[in-house]
Structure 1
Amino acid sequence: MNNFGQSIKNIAKISPFIRKKGKLWFLLSLIQAAYNGVTPFVSALLYGAMINHLIHYFQDRESGVYQVFYLLILQLCLAQFSYLIRMFQAYFMKKFEFDLDHDLKFLTNQKVAKSPLSYFDIPEFYNQLNRVRGSVSSKFLHPIMNMFQIFQHIVTLLSVIGYLISVHWIFAVLCIVVFIPLTITQLKLSKNRYLVSYLQSRDSREIGYIANLFSDKASIKEIKIFNLSNHLNERWSQRFRIVSGQILTLARKQQWIDFGLQTGTTLFFTGISFFILFGKNSKVTQVGDFYTITQMIQNVQNSFTQLSYLTGSIYEETLYIQDFYEFIEYGDPAFAEAAAAAAAESPPTAAVQFQDSIEFDSVSYRYVNSDAEALKDVSFQIKKGEKIAIVGTNGSGKTTLIKCLLGLYPIREGNITIDGVSLHEVSPQNLQELMTVVFQDFTKYAFSAHDNIAFGDIQKYRDRELLVAAAEKSGVHQFVQHFADGYDTALGRLLADGEELSGGQWQKIAFARALFRDSEIMILDEPTAALDPYAEMEIYKEFEKLTRNRTTIFISHRMAAAKLADRIVVMQAGKVAEVGTHQELIERNGVYREMFELQAEWYR
């Protein structure tokens, strides 16, 4: 009963959505359930009466025909009324399902958008996200529809058992005794089914991931070149067989238990039928009465079987609702504690214009569920208008440092300030307005060229003049102006028959998006990593124009690019190893010179 009580609490969480957009559907479903609940009882009585009147008519042609005709008309009217309710209920259910699907997926997208980037380093978060994706509304509506069916079968039982009590009171007691083991068994199986689903989430995610590799244009090239198809197919097959095998094991167990319970209940109700027909207190005097009673017994059997199944499946299905809200309310304890402490100390409401400097003061950071520090006691300053290069080997902490500055990773030790104001105090919106960024793995949206640039500042989405100006600065206008539909041309062929761009052209699109935002601070994360030497040289030549009048921070592992900066910050193992100009660092004969000469060696 605790499980069923938890199920009711989970279903109650849907009530705000029903009050908002599903009142009519709920009312029609309730009427339909009540009507369908009474229908077996009424139908058994009507058909029993019809059989009796037909027998009288065949025995005596002068009586019974009109009664049969009236009963048939009544049966047809009841059927039409049932169809009418079902028709309206189906329409409003479909409408509510669309509304609910929209609201729940919108809620999920909001949660993902608002979640700290550090959550995406936690497998549990990914597993939960994977479980709550898909046809959300149907998973929410199934337990409610099952509740309506439970209500329907309860109405059937009350009406039918009431009739059977008039035959003999013992039937009601025996029926309830049969229901208890059925319910307990179904609840246990339902819990096992959900636990299997819960534990399979990682394997299911890998199955989906491998399947996506075979449908992704970028990955299919490596699959062919490295001859990975057999290996990946075998790996997919192993995971698939493990998951399907666990499901089939439960299914077999369910079928055998259902068979045993069904056999037992059938024998039980067969015995009741014999008692009614041949017992000393039997009140059966006509064939129609016999039909009515046997139909009532079958209705009781069917309703008890359905109730036991529905009670168990409701627990299983409402666990999805519970899982959904656990995902929506998900919060890493360490992050939540740090964020709450920071908010209590200085709520993020301050507005900063950035007039002076950005300062990193003893900043340290470690990833969730990791003991290793990605950043260790990092301290340096960036003056307004400076162009700063952050260099270092892979894993030295360059990108992590920038993500902390962008507010994507929470700072738990040390502080970052803008004009003396702690990042904890700066409102997220203000921080986003101050900075624009071009990541190494920037997004290539399968939308129009206009969309790909305008997404840099959605508030100015319709300002085509500013958009074209950003495109001209970045070099995008040179190729987009030749497209058939200009800036309205789709990029890529995922959603439409659009234009395919080269790596260099996509990089320019990313720069245009950053320029369209027109922020005080521009951050470039390995901006030329995917470019050929010509495209890379073109970007370097345009660097001054692209970053003019902006404080610029760019990350690079190419030492030649660092020469464009006013100062260079050298990262090593999460720490600041050196800071200075190119010439100063060369003369210092330290880490920077070693990396610079190591790369220069390849060009001699």
Structure 2
Amino acid sequence: MAEKGEILLRRYLKNILTILARMIGKSPVISIITIIVPIISGLLTFYSYSVQVHIINAVAAGAITFLPILWFVLIHGVQACSLSITNIMKSRMNAELTLAFQSELIDIANQVDFEDFDDEEFGNKLQRANTIVGEDLEGITGFLVSSVGNISGLISIIWLSATSGYFLVTLVVGLMIVSTLSFRMFTEIKVRRTGRELTFDGRMGDYLAVTLEDPNAIREMRIYNSIFYFTDLWAKLMKKQHDKRYSARKFEIKTGMIVAMVQTSAIFIVLVYLLSKMGESNTVTVGTISVLFLALLTCGGKIMSLTWPLSKLYISSSKLYDLNEVLTYKNRDFRKNNINNSSEAMLPITVSNVYFKYAKSSKYVLSNINMVIKPGEKIAIVGENGAGKSTLIKLLLGQYTASSGSIYWKDSPEPQGKVSVVYQHSIKFELTLRENILLGDAKSSPDDVKILSILEKCELMDLFYELGGLDVRLGQMLEGSRQLSGGQWQKLAIARALYNDADLIVFDEPTSAIDPNAEMQIYTQLLDICQDKAAIFISHRLGWAKNVDKIYVIDNGSIAEVGQHQDLINNKGIYADMYALQSSWYN
């Protein structure tokens, strides 16, 4: 158990130091100033103590002067100013670091290979990293800055004890600070962990309490005579929470008693020892003893002020692991992909003996895939859900790399050319009508004539006239925006795809949520829109497929059949069976 705790401590410290190094690297001047200023302010406390010693000694000797008092006021003024400077610099540092880290995470998300991007583990890490940057980073930097300032204040007390000239005094004070800080830290961390556990239990308790008061839930539970089960769960959870709170509180009180005993004993030993040495040394004076006594009395408060941010920083450091992990992705060699980044032709795409499996799996998702996509050709890729259709498209777009076999985009083994994709669930960009279409080729200069031509092709001119122009914002995020219907958003996605002037347009299940009869009309329009372009239509519905040049039937990751509609019907294979089963949908 102790070994596990030591490993966790090393890991957490590494997370803190790594993120600190990243912070300084991204905003060196601001970060260093934000950290150095509270350190200097804390160390100035020693000089404040020294001035107080001089003032008390002067009063005791009857020779008071105003210079030490002036220094005392000046030091306090500098410390007050440094606190304001720290707060200002901390706000600026947080703003700069948040922007820098968010930009880096966006760059990584846009560069990482799609195999990683689609990996659930990476996705979860990226989400947690974004949460840290968006919500937790400001708190973590605040805990760090606060801890640095409090540590330097405690160093001032040890420094003051060293001026007595006796090693024993310094040793006792140092041991007192280290031991009480350790006890307090251990307690704080345990209490905070208990608090986190109680938060999770509390959510479950709230759910059970709401369920036990919900009329619909009560009605069903009474039918099955199961209210007693929910009541028992709720009662056990409440007792568990109470026991945890009581245990944590009892532990905190016990630790507090130990800390108080350690502090009292240390103060007593130091005072007795110094009083016994008053006549033997010029360094032990009434001022030294008085100020050290007061400093030791306030030491407990300083330690409490330190353990709170330190424990928060320690607990938060577990979150920093995900941020550090994701940021290491930028050092990887990402696969080159020139899709929509080059003027080279894409077609024909030649796929030869391609097999594909995911990195963490031993099972092939696609096996022995052979196909050719020619310029202007209209292709349907059909099959049941989970057959491997979408994975095949990701290979054709260069998003995935084949485990074996080869794919050539014209004559290049590297993905190239221009392609547009209309996904099953297209993104609703809450931008202007013009911007929604320009996103299809954002690097090109805006061409309103081209935009209007595409709007007419996609039957969106009524929307254009209704909005009164291209600069009206769509969606509902801002006041004055115009929300569109599901069909209009879909047509807008198609318009965006056409604006790209791509060699190939891929339609990935564009009508899965539409009535089969309406689907036929939409596919007829899509084929008409794509007259001069190659197009791939992916679907598990077949009623429209008779109008394409070639149909690929995917079954269990392999191409089971290839041909035109009537030929496949005559073959009486998988396609014919699927079509016969679905034919009633289109009557």
Question: TM class by shorter-chain length?
Answer: 0.7 to 0.9
The alpha carbon displacement at 1:105 in A equals: 0.7
Alignment of 1:219-234 (within 5 A): none
1:99 to 78, 81, 96: 96
Match of 2:426 in 1: 442
2:24 to 13, 18, 24: 18
Q: Is 1:436–1:517's contact at 8 Å kept on the other side of the alignment?
A: yes
Q: Does 1:129 align with 2:112?
A: no
Which amino acid counterpart does residue 402 of structure 1 have in structure 2?
I
Structure 1 residues 229-254: Cα deviation after superposition (integer angstroms, max 9, x where no partner): x99xx9xx99x999999997996588
Secondary structure at 1:563's aligned position in 2?
A: helix
Alignment of 1:194-593 (within 5 A): 255-256=252-253, 258-272=255-269, 274-276=271-273, 279=276, 290-298=289-297, 316-330=315-329, 353-354=344-345, 357-422=348-413, 425-426=414-415, 430=416, 433-460=417-444, 462-484=446-468, 486-532=469-515, 536-593=519-576
Q: Is 1:456–1:514's contact at 8 Å kept on the other side of the alignment?
A: yes
TM-score scaled to structure 1, two decimals?
0.77
The alpha carbon displacement at 1:386 in A equals: 0.6
Q: Is 1:524–1:554's contact at 8 Å kept on the other side of the alignment?
A: yes
Higher mean Cα deviation, 308-317 or 371-380? 308-317
Secondary structure at 2:440's aligned position in 1?
A: coil
Match of 1:148 in 2: 148
Q: 1:294 to 1:101 in 2, by over 3 A?
A: same
Q: Is 1:187–1:311's contact at 8 Å kept on the other side of the alignment?
A: yes
The alpha carbon displacement at 1:296 in A equals: 3.1
The alpha carbon displacement at 1:507 in A equals: 0.9
The alpha carbon displacement at 1:261 in A equals: 4.6
Q: Is 1:374–1:574's contact at 8 Å kept on the other side of the alignment?
A: yes
Match of 1:600 in 2: 583
1:38 to 37, 44, 47: 44
Secondary structure at 2:365's aligned position in 1?
A: strand
The alpha carbon displacement at 1:400 in A equals: 1.6
Which amino acid counterpart does residue 363 of structure 1 have in structure 2?
V
Q: How far, CA to CA, are the matches of 1:245 and 1:522 in structure 2?
A: 61
Q: 1:538 to 1:200 in 2, by over 3 A?
A: farther
Secondary structure at 1:377's aligned position in 2?
A: strand
Which amino acid counterpart does residue 482 of structure 1 have in structure 2?
E
Q: 1:199 to 1:462 in 2, by over 3 A?
A: farther
Q: 1:50 to 1:331 in 2, by over 3 A?
A: closer
TM-score scaled to structure 2, two decimals?
0.79
Higher mean Cα deviation, 363-372 or 350-359? 350-359
Q: How far, CA to CA, are the matches of 2:10 and 2:149 in structure 1?
A: 15
Q: How far, CA to CA, are the matches of 2:127 and 2:438 in structure 1?
A: 30
Q: How far, CA to CA, are the matches of 1:591 and 1:24 in structure 2?
A: 67
Q: 1:492 to 1:198 in 2, by over 3 A?
A: same
Q: 1:120 to 1:349 in 2, by over 3 A?
A: closer
The alpha carbon displacement at 1:568 in A equals: 0.8
Q: 1:7 to 1:88 in 2, by over 3 A?
A: same
Q: Is 1:38–1:155's contact at 8 Å kept on the other side of the alignment?
A: no
Which amino acid counterpart does residue 44 of structure 2 have in structure 1?
V
Q: 1:281 to 1:74 in 2, by over 3 A?
A: closer
Count of aligned pairs between the two proteins: 551
The alpha carbon displacement at 1:511 in A equals: 0.2
Which amino acid counterpart does residue 571 of structure 1 have in structure 2?
I
Q: Is 1:455–1:461's contact at 8 Å kept on the other side of the alignment?
A: no
Q: 1:24 to 1:352 in 2, by over 3 A?
A: closer
Q: Is 1:449–1:491's contact at 8 Å kept on the other side of the alignment?
A: yes
Secondary structure at 2:505's aligned position in 1?
A: strand
Which amino acid counterpart does residue 79 of structure 1 have in structure 2?
H
Which amino acid counterpart does residue 373 of structure 1 have in structure 2?
Y
Match of 2:113 in 1: 116
Secondary structure at 2:536's aligned position in 1?
A: strand
Alignment of 1:186-197 (within 5 A): none
Match of 1:78 in 2: 75
Q: How far, CA to CA, are the matches of 1:124 and 1:190 in structure 2?
A: 31
Q: How far, CA to CA, are the matches of 1:578 and 1:592 in structure 2?
A: 8
Q: Is 2:455–2:495's contact at 8 Å kept on the other side of the alignment?
A: yes
Gaps of 5+ in 2: 1-5, 208-213, 222-229
The alpha carbon displacement at 1:524 in A equals: 0.3
Gaps of 5+ in 1: 57-62, 212-223
Which amino acid counterpart does residue 127 of structure 1 have in structure 2?
N
